[in-house]
Chain A
Amino acid sequence: MATNNYPTPMLDVLEEGPWPSFISGFKKLRDEHPDERIRNTINGLMGQLEHSYETKMGYWKGGTISVFGYGGGIIPRFSEVGHMFPESKEFHTLRVQPPAGNYYTTDMLRQLADSWEKWGSGLQTFHGQTGNIMFIGANSVNFQHFFDEINEYGWDLGGAGPCVRTGMSCVGAARCEMSNCNEHAIHRRLMNNFTDDVHRPALPYKFKFKVSGCPNDCQNAIERADFAVIGTWRDDMKVNQEAVKEMIMKKAKEIGKEGDRSAGRQYMFDNVISRCPTQAIKLNDDDTITVDNSNCVRCMHCLNVMPKALQVGDDKGVTVLIGGKRTLKIGDLMGIVTIPFMKLDTEEDYERIVELAASIIDFWAENGLEHERCGEMIERIGLVNFLEGIGIDPDPNMIKQPRNVSYVRTDGWDEAAEAWFNRKREEKMAAAA
């Protein structure tokens, strides 16, 4: 062990206990890495982190740094205590876009580790909260070399700043029976249409795409994405009645009452029938179920409980919700249903969703205030102005309930009602065609 290491008595405590310790990993780099540059960098980093633990303050400040040709994708960090820990006084993070769905081969990750070791600190994270691979800790010279190297073999930076941010998509159709769309194709089509907006921040604020293949929303899209794409279906869910019967007996066995049909039925009542938010499932006397599909809201609960017995339908598509975000500045907002259902099968369908995203980003870039998220703009101007701005007709699926305050001007009522009836007629004709 080198004698010139900064003492880290508080960090040392985080080596105790069974969960994997990031401090043990740091120490391995600091004490055992063959490259002196990495050993010193991590020593400085640990010295500064210990200093933070002791003083309960952070000591990194931002700056402006980017690779040649881009305006974002790097999180610059300069130490405010660089005079105390000069080895890590520049410690920038490169945000790198992962493959859609976060799939990797071990070889790819080794290749990235080799490059990163050459130019950076040897620390990386899979993944940051926006969804990037984060390569944490390059100095102001080496980050460009590292980017050049990995960019040559297929990697690109993600977004940082007021730009389109790196997207996220769930495990999806690759390994999930709940999937209703090709999450990864949607993710890539959306992201790679806006590459320029990712790399050159020029929007009012950040704009995030997230794709979840079903309403379980594993990617937290509704609450955290400006543009949330959620897979869903329009026709009847599929019921395997034999598997329902099996499930009833299996549950009876699991709760220690093997062969007791009524105990299995009780489980079904308690955990499926009574939990349906719209009371759309009935358990019949012969242990089959009847589903009122016209009242099913695709909440996913019964499918989660009985993945073998129930499955999503065949007429699949997506629901698009716009404007989700966390607190800053006006408070938390969830996405609002903007497209209740659209198919995503053909090339034209994919073009349509990309066009929708482009029209939303354009309208927001034009009308959003500085540092105002898309959802905040909608809050400020009202949903109707937003819908008119992007050319989408109003739909009752966009609301929980109609307005309740009587102060509203309705002088365009007749035209609006006529437009509604015309749309309904067209929908009917299209369905009949």
Chain B
Amino acid sequence: MAAPEMRDPIESGCPDGFQYMHPVMRRNFGLWAYHEDPRPGVLVHVSKTGEKVWTVRAGTQRILDVFTLRKLMDIGDTYGEGYVHFTIRSNIEFQMADGAKVEPLVKALEDAGFPVGGTRNSVTSLSHTQGWLHCDIPGTDASGVVKAMMDELLPEFKSWNMPNRVHITTSCCQINCGGQGDIAINVQHVKPPKINHALVGNVCERPTVVARCPVAAIRPAMVDGKPSLEVDEKKCICCGACYPPCPPMQINDHQYTQLAVWIGGNHSNARGKPTFQRLVAAGIPNNPPRWPEATAIVKKILECYKAGAKDWERINEWVERIGWPRFFEVTGLPFTKYHIDNWRGARANLNSSTHIRF
């Protein structure tokens, strides 16, 4: 039988976004003078030419079915001007040259269930990962966590009550593709992988798996007469890095997979230099469908930040100013040996001064 005719791909790469921008944006590319924020979720940018472009930002469920996508497009055509942009946190933005369209568009979005907000000093939508819906290594879900959390944080999405912007992220394994956030809710495994020795030899490229371990805890071994791998459980940090290249080394566990909360990841250079997030709470139950324990901790941190931080202070800057002991005091979170860094370069995270607040 002849092989089927296959079509060669057209390697067009990244499309040119310029042709899809609102004409006002094309005309004023690089000519913007300043912007104003008329209300949460609405921006107006003013060009040096005097032209203006209005933006309305709304939250979405991120994973869109075609009905929802078309509904958003219908709203964009009826009330906007047919041009959209997505932020990296999956908020949708509609751009318009006619400011009179803003209020009707806001109303149409709200009526259809898409909250308008997420700009300036609000809690914007969570950036999140794939979770149980599509990932091959998830310790928890992502869409569900985000939905449950945003249900509770909606008032903060729609208002400007925070000292500065708040980026929250989630990640369903310790690889953390959700990235850095002012608050990050990530999976934390607490038990070494359970190895199905019967499968390892046939499924895993063993040297690769050995090399993948960040703490050199994996070594080749013969188990029940079959080539396999064994883990030095004392050394193991339960990161799960061995699981993607070797699924028989199951790290996820319905009983022992927990969540942890990290704070202070900030990728802006504004005021201070960019910072990585730091562990503040762990041992949080992985509790679908609404993960109330994780949400409660996030809300508590937000409440303390809102009460204690100065205008423009991001969460990391607030904690830097008041000090970590005070952070644990005001939030009521326990400080444990697990907060003390022991990774390479840990000394940089220890206090070698008498700068102590009493």
Minimum distance in angstroms from B171 CB to a CB of chain A: 9
Give which listed residue, B6, B12, B66, contacts A154 with CB less than 8 A: B12
- For the complex, is A219 an interface residue (Cβ under 8 Å from B)? yes
Minimum distance in angstroms from B14 CB to a CB of chain A: 4
Residues of B close to A328: CB separation below 8 A? 175, 214, 239, 241
In the complex formed, the residue of A with least CB distance to B145 is A14
Give which listed residue, A17, A70, A106, A308, contacts B82 with CB less than 8 A: A106
Residues of A close to B88: CB separation below 8 A? 127, 131, 168, 218-220
* Pairwise interchain contact B176-A326, C-beta atoms closer than 8 A: yes
Query: Which residues in chain A, 217-232, are within 8 Å of chain B measured between CB atoms?
Result: 217-224
Give bound CA distance, A422 to B95, whole Å.
Answer: 52
**With A13-B290, A19-B115 given, is the CB distance from A77 to B179 under 8 Å?**
no
Query: Which residues in chain A, 318-344, are within 8 Å of chain B measured between CB atoms?
Result: 326-332, 334
* Pairwise interchain contact B208-A198, C-beta atoms closer than 8 A: no
**CB 8 Å contact bits of B144-158 with A (1 = contact, 0 = none):** 100110111010000
**With A152-B10, A300-B268 given, is the CB distance from A106 to B63 under 8 Å?**
no
Chain A residues within 8 Å of chain B by Cβ, number: 129
* Pairwise interchain contact A184-B267, C-beta atoms closer than 8 A: no
In the complex formed, the residue of B with least CB distance to A306 is B34
**CB 8 Å contact bits of A30-71 with B (1 = contact, 0 = none):** 001100000000000100010011011111111000011110
**With A20-B113, A49-B133, A117-B66 given, is the CB distance from A167 to B14 under 8 Å?**
yes
**With A13-B289, A58-B138 given, is the CB distance from A102 to B86 under 8 Å?**
yes
- For the complex, is B141 an interface residue (Cβ under 8 Å from A)? yes
Give bound CA distance, A103 to B81, whole Å.
Answer: 13
* Pairwise interchain contact A17-B148, C-beta atoms closer than 8 A: yes
In the complex formed, the residue of A with least CB distance to B137 is A58
Residues of B close to A75: CB separation below 8 A? 134
**With A113-B69, A218-B88 given, is the CB distance from A129 to B212 under 8 Å?**
no
Residues of B close to A117: CB separation below 8 A? 66
**With A57-B252, A307-B35 given, is the CB distance from A14 to B17 under 8 Å?**
no
Query: Which residues in chain A, 196-222, are within 8 Å of chain B measured between CB atoms?
Result: 196, 198-199, 215-222
Residues of A close to B10: CB separation below 8 A? 151-152, 156
Give bound CA distance, A128 to B12, whole Å.
Answer: 20
Give which listed residue, A20, A113, A175, contacts B95 with CB less than 8 A: A175
* Pairwise interchain contact B35-A17, C-beta atoms closer than 8 A: no
Give bound CA distance, A105 to B20, whole Å.
Answer: 6
**CB 8 Å contact bits of B15-38 with A (1 = contact, 0 = none):** 111101100011001101111100
- For the complex, is B332 an interface residue (Cβ under 8 Å from A)? no
* Pairwise interchain contact A224-B9, C-beta atoms closer than 8 A: no
* Pairwise interchain contact B148-A191, C-beta atoms closer than 8 A: no
- For the complex, is B325 an interface residue (Cβ under 8 Å from A)? no
- For the complex, is B53 an interface residue (Cβ under 8 Å from A)? yes
**With A28-B65, A127-B86 given, is the CB distance from A155 to B15 under 8 Å?**
yes
Minimum distance in angstroms from B98 CB to a CB of chain A: 16
Give bound CA distance, A55 to B140, whole Å.
Answer: 11
- For the complex, is A418 an interface residue (Cβ under 8 Å from B)? no
* Pairwise interchain contact A271-B345, C-beta atoms closer than 8 A: no
Looking at the complex, which of A118-126, A279-287, A347-355, A387-395 is the stretch in contact with chain B?
A118-126
- For the complex, is A174 an interface residue (Cβ under 8 Å from B)? yes
Give bound CA distance, A109 to B67, whole Å.
Answer: 12
- For the complex, is B188 an interface residue (Cβ under 8 Å from A)? no
- For the complex, is B343 an interface residue (Cβ under 8 Å from A)? yes
- For the complex, is A91 an interface residue (Cβ under 8 Å from B)? yes
Residues of B close to A307: CB separation below 8 A? 34-35
Minimum distance in angstroms from A104 CB to a CB of chain B: 5
In the complex formed, the residue of A with least CB distance to B244 is A62
* Pairwise interchain contact A19-B274, C-beta atoms closer than 8 A: no
Give bound CA distance, A189 to B267, whole Å.
Answer: 24
- For the complex, is A182 an interface residue (Cβ under 8 Å from B)? yes
**With A100-B17, A174-B21 given, is the CB distance from A199 to B11 under 8 Å?**
yes
* Pairwise interchain contact A58-B34, C-beta atoms closer than 8 A: no
* Pairwise interchain contact B343-A331, C-beta atoms closer than 8 A: yes
- For the complex, is B331 an interface residue (Cβ under 8 Å from A)? no
**CB 8 Å contact bits of B75-86 with A (1 = contact, 0 = none):** 011000011111
Give which listed residue, B25, B92, B274, B311, contacts A271 with CB less than 8 A: B311
Residues of B close to A113: CB separation below 8 A? 66, 69-70, 73
Residues of A close to B35: CB separation below 8 A? 176-177, 307
24 A-B pairs in the complex with CB atoms less than 8 angstroms apart: A11-B289, A14-B290, A17-B152, A22-B62, A29-B66, A49-B133, A55-B254, A56-B286, A57-B252, A58-B139, A60-B134, A113-B66, A123-B66, A125-B90, A129-B129, A151-B10, A173-B29, A177-B35, A199-B9, A224-B179, A307-B35, A328-B239, A328-B241, A331-B214
A126-B64, A175-B53 given. 9 additional CB < 8 A pairs? A25-B61, A56-B255, A106-B83, A156-B13, A174-B29, A299-B269, A304-B312, A305-B312, A330-B344
| Nearest 8 Cβ contacts at the A-B interface | A17-B151, A99-B17, A52-B132, A215-B269, A25-B65, A56-B254, A19-B150, A192-B13
